[in-house]
Chain A
Amino acid sequence: MALIQISEPGQSTAPHQHRLAVGIDLGTTNSLVATVRSGLAETIADAQGMHLLPSVVRYKDNGSCDVGSEARAAMIEDPQNTILSVKRIMGRGYDDVMADAAKIAEYVKTESAVPKIRTAAGDKSAVEVSADILAHLRGRAEQALGGELTGCVITVPAYFDDAQRQATKDAATLAGLHVFRLLNEPTAAAVAYGLDQQAEGVHVIYDLGGGTFDVSILRLHRGVFEVMSTAGDTALGGDDMDKLIMDWMVSRAAVQIDVSTQESATFKRALRHEACRVKEQLSQAEQVPIQLNLPGGIQWSERLTREEFNRLIDPVVKRTLLSCRRALRDAGIEVHEVQDVVMVGGSTRVPYVRSQVGEFFECEPLVDLDPDKVVALGAAIQADILAGNKPDDQLLLLDVIPLSLGIETMGGLTEKVIQRNTTIPVSKAQDFTTFKDGQTAMSIHVVQGERELVSDCRSLAKFELRGIPPMVAGAARIRVTFQVDADGLLSVSAREQTQGIESNVQVKPSYGLTDTEIETMLREAMAHASEDVAARNLNEQRVEAQRVLEALVQALKEDGEQLLSPQEIEQLQHGMDNLQQLLNRSENHREIKQAVDQLNNDSVEFAARRMDAGIKKAMAGHKVGDFE
């Protein structure tokens, strides 16, 4: 079938062309970017040969910023403009971050629902700071790989809620990255390990990073990674250990810290720096000497033993083990069924963490891969597959939603719509009715969490259903559908059942950025990078159009004749030609988008038939019991 040929000379659409794709581990303390080169996953180093990028951004008064070691070096001298551990406040509200013990900065309250940090370069939200880190990694990768990235996989803690995931995706958008998938960090680690060892059975991934803790229980079976349960704490990690050492030092040195003065701010940074150093050294040494300049110019020295340190951090470790217990129970697994425990995250270098985890799971934890890199490596492997570079590789990751999704009912109570640890994607419908005669609108409050009271859960969104036909109370049937995609992101749609009216759903994120805010940030960011907004939009649309065309050419080649009538093929062909011609002449991204949408819609039926045929083929000839 040689009738489809739409590429212009020089615009190759060869199906086996290698697409540049990366995995990004956007960590609390450090970030990494990795890719698959010649079949091997490896992290990408900067010009100085450094792989880890400290997740630190320093904003300068000319509006520019430093990212990484350079920024971290300025931490003590310029604490106000140097932001670290920004991941801890991703997707969180003002009151929420104020309540966090390990406060990462002084926040300012603005009109936006999200807290901002005042810097020399203006007020910055967590999304913007993260976008600067991502943009830096993107630059590093594009330089090393010598081309523009097709897409990336960004990892998030499995326990991230919807708002935190959305914030991460927004940051990627700001940084100009196309996200194939948000991948849970433990799952990424499992991919990095699993593909190496082809280990079948039940595995536990214990991931204790700088600021987040996750535990996931996975069943690995013939290339399918099925997450059975996940639990954790998005504000628990090495930072908390540092904080405990800081508190210990402060009480031993008997110093008063007045948070309002510049001297104290600098001293606190120095304290934190010292605490972190002591913690790291205690992984090797039995005791570590401490040297500090106290406010007022006094020299203070002390030593911390590993035994004392273990005692200090015991509550942190205990909290992680409680999550482990819960994850086991949710998975319906007993400790003895666990084959092994994979250790991920820098904080698992602490000997006490290793010994306690080993004791809990009754086995020696696996530490073969560098705990700092394993997540990025797994993400890179997944990105390579999603980019289509490995058409023959079967890898299926079935993840779960970490926290239940519910809606507010009368009296401020939560009614769960989707239970935690349900495999995603998932879609659940719930019927509502009106309370008063003639009621034409109702508001729905979506929350995430396990608690009974709405006020104890995370508020995700409030939205209104309008245009309900006026009826007597209780007569309308409004079906609201909650859909969580493979990234763990929620979308909501609603329909009035009796008259079939599709209602207008306005989702107002409680803690997230609005679309307008993101647009503004995008404009500002590009204005600063002297990038052209229109050019970027056009480029993005062109890439999308190319993606759709390539996919369709391939699909027609494979299944066109079997699944479509000659007329249908001709129709699709016509749509493709139109889009291709438009691509050649149009500079208008909206026009191109319209044509892409049109072609997408026209090819839905073909896509559905292809999927059906795929299913039939996969299930063909198998009788009951064949799969045993």
Chain B
Amino acid sequence: MTTVNLTSNYFELFELPVSYDVNLQDLSERFRRLQSIVHPDNFANKGDAERRLSVQQSALINEAYQTLRGPLSRAIYMLGLAGCDVLHDTATSMDQGFLMQQMELRESLAAISSAADPVGELLDFNKGLDQLLTQVLEQLRPLMKSLGSLQEQLQHSKDLVKRLQFISKLQQESRELEEQLL
């Protein structure tokens, strides 16, 4: 088992070079091509062992696709490849200014439900979040391009990814609020 080895990296799975710049259309075409080979529906008439294998591999390809598709999950994954575990890193050294900004954003999100025009305010809030996200992503992109073993660079990328995680968490909460408001 080579290609779909559980330990092979997601880029190799799609036969793509390890790079932060991913052409999403190309990726999804590769994804569909792989699924058309391994998807369980191709094994409806096969034995149990083959069916199980196909479920595992199909699940792996789904996971790989989801990971490489999103800019945040892709960054976290690439940092992981470089030996930097963002998800389980507890020693945070966040920039004070950014933390303040986060607290303010959180407070304004909490205030929205009692505002006169909650839906309108939520839309504005989301727009602001999107802008912030784009800003951080723009900072991250050049760093990811030459993601080497330079400690300093890795640390900087990691900090930016942590910011992205904060923003994404806020987006999630904003979606939950939207669900309640609708």
Residues of A within 8 A of B (CB): 151, 180-181, 221-222, 224, 226, 322, 325-326, 329, 385-388, 394, 396-398, 422-428, 483, 485-486, 547-548, 550-552, 596-597, 599-601, 603-604, 607-609, 611-612, 614-616, 618-619, 622, 624-628
Q: Does B83 contact A (CB under 8 A)?
A: no
What 1/0 mask marks residues of chain B from 131 to 154 whose CB sits below 8 Å from any chain A CB?
000000000000000000000000
A611–B51 CA distance with the chains assembled, in angstroms? 11
The reply on B165 being an interface residue by CB < 8 A is no
B86 surroundings in chain A (CB, below 8 A): none
Q: List 30 A-B contacts (CB under 8 A).
A: A151-B44, A224-B32, A325-B182, A385-B41, A388-B45, A396-B36, A396-B41, A422-B62, A425-B40, A426-B63, A427-B60, A483-B56, A483-B59, A547-B46, A551-B45, A552-B47, A604-B49, A607-B53, A609-B1, A611-B53, A611-B57, A618-B33, A618-B36, A619-B30, A619-B34, A622-B15, A624-B23, A625-B23, A627-B25, A627-B33
A599 and B46 alpha carbons, distance in the complex (Å): 12
Known contacts A607-B49, A615-B37, A619-B15; decide if A483 and B55 are in contact (CB<8 Å): yes
* B157 beta carbon closer than 8 Å to chain A: no
The answer, yes or no, to whether B26 is at the interface (CB within 8 Å) is yes
Q: Which of A387, A422, A486 contacts B39 (CB 8 A)?
A: A486
CA distance A628 to B56 in the complex (A): 28
Bitwise, B1-43 to A at CB < 8 A (1) or not (0) is: 1111000000000111100000101100110111111111100
Q: A386-B44, A387-B44, A619-B30 are in contact. Are A603 and B49 (CB under 8 A)?
A: yes
Which residue of chain A is the closest to B26 with respect to CB atoms? A627
Q: Which residues of A contact B36 (CB under 8 A)?
A: 224, 394, 396, 618
Q: Do B48 and A485 have beta carbons less than 8 Å apart?
A: no
8 A-B pairs with the lowest CB-CB distances in the bound complex, closest first: A627-B29, A600-B49, A386-B44, A427-B59, A548-B47, A607-B50, A486-B40, A425-B59
Q: In the complex the two chains form, what is the Cα distance from A619 to B13 in whole Å?
A: 10
Chain B residues with CB below 8 A from A611, complex form: 4, 37-38, 53-54, 57
Q: Is the interface of B mostly helix, strand, loop or mixed?
A: helix
Most B Cβ at <10 Å: residue of A226, A611, A616? A611
Q: Count of B residues near A, CB < 8 Å?
A: 46
Residues of chain A within 8 A of B39, CB atoms compared: 396, 398, 486
Contact status B62-A423, CB under 8 Å: yes
Docked complex Cα distance between A483 and B54 (Å): 12
Q: Which residues of B contact A (CB under 8 A)?
A: 1-4, 14-17, 23, 25-26, 29-30, 32-41, 44-50, 53-60, 62-63, 65-66, 175, 178-179, 182
Chain B neighbourhood of A151, CB < 8 A = 44
**Count, A-B residue pairs, CB within 8 A:** 144
Set of chain B residues within 8 Å of A322, measured between Cβ atoms: 182
Question: Which residue of B is nearest A491, CB measured?
Answer: B55
| A615 and B3 within 8 A (CB) | yes
With A603-B47, A612-B1 in contact, is A485–B25 under 8 Å at CB?
no
In the complex, what distance in Å separates the CA atom of A365 from the CA atom of B34? 34
- Cβ-defined partner of B50 (8 Å) among A550, A604, A618: A604
How far, in angstroms, from A180 to B1 measured CA to CA in the complex? 27
Q: Which of B17, B41, B179 has the most chain A CB within a 10 Å cutoff? A: B41
Residues of A within 8 A of B66 (CB): 422-423
Closest to B56 in A: A427
Query: Would you give the shortest CB distance from B122 to chain A, in whole angstroms?
Result: 12
CA–CA, A551 and B32, complex, Å: 24
Query: Are A597's CB and B48's CB within 8 A?
Result: yes
A548 CB contacts on chain B under 8 angstroms:
46-47
Shortest distance between the CB of A594 and any CB in chain B (Å): 13
Residue of B nearest to A151 (CB): B44
- CB < 8 Å neighbour of B62 from A325, A425, A619: A425
**A551: B residues at CB distance < 8 A:** 45-47, 50
A408 to B168 Cα, complex, angstroms: 23
Q: Is the beta-carbon distance between B45 and A547 smaller than 8 angstroms?
A: yes
Least Cβ–Cβ distance between B23 and chain A, in angstroms: 6
Q: Which residues of B contact A425 (CB under 8 A)?
A: 40, 55, 58-59, 62
Q: Would you give the shortest CB distance from B41 to chain A, in whole angstroms?
A: 6
Say how far B149's CB is from chain A's closest CB, in angstroms.
Answer: 24
Closest chain-A Cβ to B118's Cβ sits at a distance in Å of 16
**Contact yes or no, B37 A618, CB < 8 A:** yes
Give, as a whole number of angstroms, the nearest-CB distance from B4 to chain A: 6
If A600-B49, A608-B53, A612-B1 touch, does A180 touch B34 (CB 8 Å cutoff)? no
Closest to A330 in B: B175
Are A486 and B55 CB-contacts (below 8 A) given A615-B38, A618-B34, A619-B15? yes
Q: Which residues of B contact A325 (CB under 8 A)?
A: 182
Contact B62 A485 (CB under 8 A): no
A180 interface neighbour in B32, B44, B57, Cβ under 8 Å? B44
Expressed in whole angstroms, the Cα–Cα distance for A529 and B38 within the complex equals: 40
How far, in angstroms, from A597 to B48 measured CA to CA in the complex?
A: 8
Given A486-B41, A607-B50, A611-B53; A426-B62 close (CB under 8 Å):
yes
When the two chains form their complex, are residues A624 and B53 in contact, meaning their CB atoms are under 8 A apart? no
Q: How far is the CB of B37 from chain A (nearest CB, A)?
A: 4
Task: Tell me how far the C-beta of B148 lies from the nearest C-beta in chain A, rounded to whole angstroms.
Answer: 21
Contact A326 B32 (CB under 8 A): no
User: Known interface pairs A486-B58, A616-B3, A619-B15. Does A600 touch B23 (Cβ–Cβ under 8 Å)?
Assistant: no
Q: Are B26 and A626 in contact (CB under 8 A)?
A: yes
Of A550, A614, A622, the contact of B37 (CB 8 Å cutoff): A614
A597–B56 Cα distance when bound, in Å, is 18
Q: Residue among B32, B35, B47, B59 with the most chain A CB within 10 A?
A: B47
Which single residue of chain B is at the shortest CB-CB distance from A452? B176
State whether B44 touches A604 (Cβ < 8 A). Answer: no
CA distance A226 to B66 in the complex (A): 13
Given contacts A596-B47, A600-B47, contact A427 B41 (CB under 8 A): no
- Docked Cα-Cα span, A575 to B17, in Å, equals 42
Which residues of the partner chain B approach A619 to less than 8 Å between Cβ atoms?
14-15, 30, 33-34
